[in-house]
Amino acid sequence: MKNFAKKCLALLCGVAFALPIFAACDDGPDDGGGETPIDKVDYVSNLKLDMNSETKKQEVTVWQYIDGDTTHFKPTTSTSDFSVTNGIIKARYLAVNTPESTGTIEKWGKAASDFTHSTLEKAAAVLVESDDAQWNYDDTTSHRLLLWIWYVPEGKAVTAENYRNLNVELLQEGYGRASSVDENRYGETASAALYQAQQLKLVMYSNKADPKFHGGAATPMTLQYLRCHIAEMDDGTPVSVEGVVTAKFNHTAYIEDEFTVTIDGEEKTIKMGMAVYFQYKTGKLLDILSVGNRVNVVGKTSIFSGQYGTSYQITDVEYNSVFPNSATNTTLVEEGDPADVVPTVINAADAFGNNTKQVTCTFNEGEENEETCTIGYAMAVMDTLVKIENAEISRDIYVSDSNELTVTCTSSGVSFEFHTEVMEDDDRNPYTAEDIGEIGTKFSWVMGVMNSFNNKYQLAIYDISCLAYATA
CA distance 263 to 392: 28
Query: Is 354's pLDDT higher than 50?
Result: yes
Query: Is 3's pLDDT higher than 70?
Result: no
Residue 305 has a pLDDT of 64
Residue 455 has a pLDDT of 77
Query: Is 314's pLDDT higher than 70?
Result: yes
Output the CA torsion sign for 35, 192, 119, 85. negative
pTM, full prediction: 0.71
Give the DSSP per-residue string, 313-358: EEE-----TTSTT-TT--EEEE---GGG--PEE--HHHHHSTT--E
Q: How far apart are the first and last CA of the chain?
A: 68
Provide the pLDDT confidence category of residue 235 given band limits of 50, 70 and 90: confident
Query: Is 152's pLDDT higher than 80?
Result: yes
Query: Is 435's pLDDT higher than 90?
Result: yes
Residue 53 DSSP class:
S
Residue 202 DSSP class:
-
Question: CA torsion, points 186, 190, 191, 196, in degrees to nearest 10?
Answer: 150
Q: For 326-343, what is the mean pLDDT? A: 95
Provide the pLDDT confidence category of residue 15 given band limits of 50, 70 and 90: very low
Identity of the amino acid at 378 = A
- Give the gyration radius of the chain's Cα atoms: 25
Q: For 110-125, what is the mean pLDDT? A: 94
Query: Is 204's pLDDT higher than 70?
Result: yes
Query: Is 141's pLDDT higher than 80?
Result: no
Provide the pLDDT confidence category of residue 206 given band limits of 50, 70 and 90: very high
- 34-43 long-range contacts (CB < 8 A, ≥24 apart) are 38/196, 38/199, 38/200, 40/196, 40/200, 41/192, 41/196, 42/172, 43/168, 43/172, 43/189, 43/192, 43/193, 43/196
**Average pLDDT over all residues of the chain:** 87
CA distance 155 to 157: 7
303 φ/ψ angles, rounded to the nearest 5 degrees: -120, 120
Query: Is 4's pLDDT higher than 50?
Result: no
Point out the least confidently predicted range of 73-77, 212-216, 426-430. 212-216
Query: Is 29's pLDDT higher than 60?
Result: no
Q: For 18-29, what is the mean pLDDT? A: 38
Per-residue pLDDT of 456-468, as tens digits, reads: 899 999 999 999 9
Per-residue pLDDT of 31-58, as tens digits, reads: 444 455 678 999 999 999 999 999 999 9
Provide the pLDDT confidence category of residue 21 given band limits of 50, 70 and 90: very low
Structural domains of the chain, with CATH: 2-205 (2.40.50.90), 219-377 (2.40.50.140), 379-469 (2.40.50.140)
Identity of the amino acid at 398 = Y
Per-residue pLDDT of 367-392, as tens digits, reads: 878 899 999 999 999 999 999 999 99
